[in-house]
Amino acid sequence: MREATLVTASLTVNGVALEPGRDVAIRGYPRDGNIDIDQPLVFVGYGIHRPDLGYDDLEGVQLHGAIAVIFTGAPRTLNGKPVDDALHAVLADTAPRYRALRDRGATAVLGIYDPVRAERMPFAKIIKKMPTTGLAWMVDGAPASDPVLPSAAIDAATFDRLAGAQVAHALWEQLDRGEHPRFDQPLKASLRITSTLRDITARNVVAMLPGGDLHDEIVAYSAHHDHLGIGAPVNGDHIYNGALDNAIGVAAMLEIARGLKALSHPPRRSVLFIAVTGEEKGLLGSEYFVEHPTLPIERIVANINIDGVHPSYQVFDVEALGAEHSSLQREALAAARAAGLNLSPDRDPAQVHFIRSDQYSFVKRGIPAVHTAAGVMDEHGGLATNRALQDAWESERYHQPSDEWQPGYHAEWTLPEMKFELMMGLAVADADTRPTWNARDVFGDVAKPAARGDSRQPVSPPVDASAKPR
């Protein structure tokens, strides 16, 4: 990979200088160590180019020699109809937007942080956790992955300050209704990014448990082994341990491997275990794996991704984010029942978690996938107590040096979640047929056409995910 370590960065708009780390987030850019741009800002809404959906923020917009200004997130309404959470998650993916902006001639992107996500996690907290080092994987000696444009990020209040009026939320509300508002106020920006570039090796670690009569087909577990390393000190601590994000997920995957290996008979399908790198830099390790697989990608029938296991409370329910989009819903429900747990839906779909971890790299190659997670139900069925614990962790420890093992954690509390993950993988591995996407599913349609294989066949109606365990 090529690593870009930020040396200096600045963004000035119409003479207003923004302070990196406070007003604006800027990363090193691995494709060029010296970015020096003085160009106008052109507002292009969300920057989404989806004429197939009757929505195109880029139609008629001139971006050559300009810095594109976009909101992160995606509209909640298209053609007068509400956008469901799955389509919203797909539209919120920034990578295809940046490529479309580049193809239209934009030289950089200034992103305005999604106000919906800001309600849950204020930009002032996010900016402190954003890494300043950029990474891209390489092919033939040159960066070949995202990011394809240098970028900076601000919040709505900062955009208002630059515009000299409170316009950001009005623009965003129009966009959220599926409209295409204009912002023609002339703004010119100077973006400077100086980075030290070096080529490094970061490894995916892959192992296979051979299967039985269906051994040519593979169920893939994944968990990312990277975190943020050494960074800005917080309360005197500069080591970002990543205990729950995601050392514990890798540990869970290893225990699942140990459990499957101990069976008296192997699963019918082979099982692949992939500890991937570069998740925190844009799902780079998993993306590289699916683009340069160590075995034919069509042999992988499903992905179960483990990104975090919670040892801070007893687990009575689990989530299998994304399972409702494929026949994996049946295996998820069966596994939850076998583990004595409830299967709960995504409790916070606005955060679009299904596109924010390594399972999405597999989805984009046509492979049905899930992101497993502990729910927040307590022994009485209440949600408030454990939700508060998870929210506190996300606010106080997520991407902080304090994400380390705490006295209140109990290893045994992780066992029900791991049992669910093991049982789900075993159910998929032993099933008579490989998993399939639901007919006309939005995530099934994300896949590259050549990668879809047999995974686009229609399936039975989804199983009721709210059903209780037997």
Q: Measured between alpha carbons, how far is 462 from 435 in angstroms, rounded to an integer?
A: 13
Q: How far apart are CA 464 and CA 261, in angstroms?
A: 32
Which pLDDT belongs to residue 130? Answer: 79
Taking the model in full, what pTM does it have? Answer: 0.88
Mean pLDDT (whole number) for 232-259? 94
pLDDT of residue 455: 40
Lowest model confidence (mean pLDDT) among 20-24, 201-205, 395-399, 429-433: 395-399
CB 210 within 8 A of CB 266: yes
**463 has a pLDDT exceeding 60:** no
- The helix, strand and coil proportions of the chain, stated in percent and rounded to the nearest 5, come to 30, 25, 40
153 CB-side CA count, 13 A? 22
Compute the average pLDDT of residues 449-466. 37
> Which residues, other chains included, contact 445 with Cβ-Cβ below 8 Å and sequence gap of 6+?
none
Q: Is the pLDDT of residue 465 over 80?
A: no
User: Does residue 368 have a pLDDT over 90?
Assistant: yes
Asked whether the beta carbons of 242 and 403 are under 8 A apart, the reply is yes
The most distant pair of C-alpha atoms in the chain lies apart, rounded to whole Å, by 71
Bridge-based pairing state of the strands 77-78 and 134-136: unpaired
80-84, 106-110, 208-212: which range is least confident on average? 80-84
Give the pLDDT band (50/70/90) at residue 125.
Answer: confident
Using the predicted structure, report yes or no on whether residue 347 has a pLDDT greater than 90.
no
Residue type at 246?
N
**Range 119-122, long-range pairs (CB < 8 A, 24+ positions):** 120/348, 120/350, 120/351, 121/394, 121/395
Is residue 460 pLDDT above 60, yes or no? no
- Range name among 227-236, 260-269, 296-305, 332-341 with the lowest pLDDT average: 227-236
**Residues in CB range of 48: below 8 A, 6 or more apart:** 55, 56, 57, 74, 75, 91, 97, 100
Q: What's the pLDDT tens digit per position in 231-240?
A: 888 899 999 9
Averaged over 430-439, what is the pLDDT? 96
- For the cut 70, the answer to whether the pLDDT of residue 406 exceeds it is yes
Per-residue pLDDT at 354: 85
pLDDT of the residue at 116 = 80
pLDDT tens digit string along 374-383?
999 999 999 9
- Give me Rg for the CA atoms of the chain: 22
**389-409 average pLDDT score:** 90
Write out pLDDT tens, residues 69-98. 999 989 989 988 999 888 988 999 999 999
Question: Which phi and psi (to 5°) does residue 243 adopt?
Answer: -60, -50
Angle at 142 between CA 141 and CA 145, to 5 degrees: 130
Q: Which amino acid is at 368?
A: P
- Once rounded to an integer, what is the mean pLDDT over residues 62-72? 95
- The pLDDT of residue 456 is above 70: no
> What average pLDDT does range 10-20 have in this prediction?
95
Q: How confident is the model at residue 446 (pLDDT cuts 50, 70, 90)?
A: confident
pLDDT value, residue 453: 41
Catalogue all structural domains in the chain, each as residue range(s) with its CATH number. 2-199 (3.50.30.30), 205-451 (3.40.630.10)
Two tokens, residue 203? 């490894």
pLDDT band at 264 (very low <50, low <70, confident <90, very high): very high
Residue 386, CA atoms < 13 Å, CB-side half-sphere: 21
Question: CA–CA separation, 368 vs 68, rounded Å?
Answer: 34
